[in-house]
Amino acid sequence: MPSSEPRLGWSLERAARERTDEEGTVDLATGERQTWGTVKRRVNGVATALADMDLERGDRVGILALNSARHFELWYAIPAAGLIMNDLNFRLAVEELRFICDDSQVRLVFVDSTFLEAGRALREACPALETLVWLGVGDEAPEGTIAYDVLAESEPERLPEPDSADVAAICYTGGTTGLPKGVMLTHRNLTANALHVVAFARLTARDRYLHAAPQFHAADGALAYSLTWAAGTHVFVPGFEPAAVVRALEKESITVELLVPTMITMCIASGALEGADLSPLRLMIYGASPMPAEVQKAAVPAFACAFMQAYGMTEAAPIVTYLDDVAHERGLAGEEPWASRLRSAGSPVPGVRAEVRRDDGVTVASVGEPGEIWVQGPNIMKGYWNRPEETEHALVDGWYRSGDVAYADEGGFLFIVDRAKDMIISGGENVYTTEVENAIYSHPDVLEAAVFGVPDPEWGETVHAEVVLKPGMAADPESLIEHCRALIAGYKLPRSVNVRPVEEPLPKSGAGKILKRELREPFWEGHKRRVG
């Protein structure tokens, strides 16, 4: 008997039923504004067309495209057809994309004009990939592709409803270590996460959300599904550009936004916020990486709205904990324990459990004791695609082992001290790089920082920092180290600092995370071991 749990399509059905003639999507690149009734009709047309193609239920279908309303429609149409969506990170090299498409045996890829040539290259390189569908406007498609609008205009048919346990999407992790892994997320996982977001962000039909972070990232997907449950309005810009994002926030009366701290910093530094009327904006959600206290203090008055942090990972579809707007308000006012908790990732969202455990899987005995975060909830992945051993390691007795190191305070608020792989062991002492980075970020001249271990014949590893300064600033390595000396223990201090000009930013993933692997690699070249 099929499960009675909600599927992804239920949110779209609700929005189209209750707000049929209200604005559902706004695409600022094409100028198209679609009602919820039209969005549902187009989604059903695409799903029907896919079901009529030479595809089997459960086949994988890729997307290689910038943000757009059509991209959003695919988040519903592909799973509705009984297929599995693989939204590709367009910032990867074609060879990396080839690995992902081959690993998941992608049969069809939706591609926009920007990535048409990359799509063609993938079709040549990947034996399973046979079909490209062009996401441009109109019925005329480039040679060798099918026009998306032709699919959207198909006469909708009633299709078999997927089961809540069916895999709806495979999301590949960023590949910052080793080969990328495909995270299998079911209808249940994605729906549960969306409802969690509706609850903690208090989303309603009055909300308007700007898709400025890349849609291939699970965090944007969380807002895509959750805002649809609330029947709000989705607004799309092709990609993140500070001035364009600020203009869109103002022009479209955006009420809820999600950006990573790097993007928030760039908006402030661009000067575009000066004079902009962002009064409708009620909530800024940030995630993917911690926001240093100095950035928080600048960001809240700059955007003049409530701030909320979300922490998670792709395997959790993706949100695990949140630090709400009240915590930010009271913390920035200096009220304890909230001021200290601004450094935390918050507490578990409604519907999710999180514990800090030792290496043997036993919950830590005391407040403040570091350990690995274990997570349980209906949002936790089904497993890794074609990776049974890694799945067995990650999923234990209904819990997911995150690999992140944290401690909890007396209220259960989690303080992330680092990912296990980023821990430095220097002379037998553990150094958690986040602590060092927070100290560096508190220097007024610093724009970006990344800390990692580099090989040392005496200590095994020593602490190294790559630092980007704000425009016009001139801090040197010695002054940065001295600045940190008053903030962290001596054994945690960077032993070497490379100061980079603002024209040489740190490398980042598609989700905006700093890629430490790329920074670390040259230092360890020729070493058999990558840690000291």
Decide if 446 is inside a domain: yes
Q: Which helix (H) or strand (E) holds 12?
A: helix 8-18
- Cβ atoms 351, 192 nearer than 8 A: yes
Q: Which residues of the chain have pLDDT under 50?
A: 175-177, 528-532
- Determine the pLDDT at residue 531: 47
Cα gap 391→386, rounded to integer Å: 9
Q: Which two tokens stand for residue 307?
A: 């701030």
Place of tokens 């936790």: 380
CA-based end-to-end distance of the chain: 54
Of the candidates 155, 186, 217, which is a domain's last residue?
186
Q: Assign 158 to helix, strand or coil.
A: coil
Q: What is the DSSP string of 33-102?
A: EEEHHHHHHHHHHHHHHHHTSS--TT-EEEEE--S-HHHHHHHHHHHHTT-EEEE--TTS-HHHHHHHHH
- CA-closest candidate to residue 226, choices 292, 304, 310, 302: 310
Decide if 518 is inside a domain: yes
- Domain identity same for 404 and 463: no
- Domain identity same for 358 and 447: no
Decide if 230 is inside a domain: no
- CATH number at 459 reads 3.30.300.30
pLDDT tens figures, 68-119 = 999 999 999 999 999 999 999 888 888 889 999 999 999 999 999 999 999 9
pTM: 0.85
- Determine the pLDDT at residue 2: 61
- Domain identity same for 493 and 372: no
The four Cα atoms 421, 425, 429, 433 give a dihedral, to 10 degrees, of -50
Of the candidates 419, 445, 467, which is a domain's last residue?
419
- Domain identity same for 388 and 440: no
Of the candidates 144, 160, 186, which is a domain's last residue?
186
- CATH number at 402 reads 2.30.38.10
Decide if 309 is inside a domain: no
* Domain containing residue 400: 352-419
Cα gap 168→80, rounded to integer Å: 9
pLDDT tens figures, 146-173 = 999 999 999 999 999 999 999 999 999 8
Cα gap 186→372, rounded to integer Å: 25
Cα gap 512→522, rounded to integer Å: 22
Domain count within the chain: 3
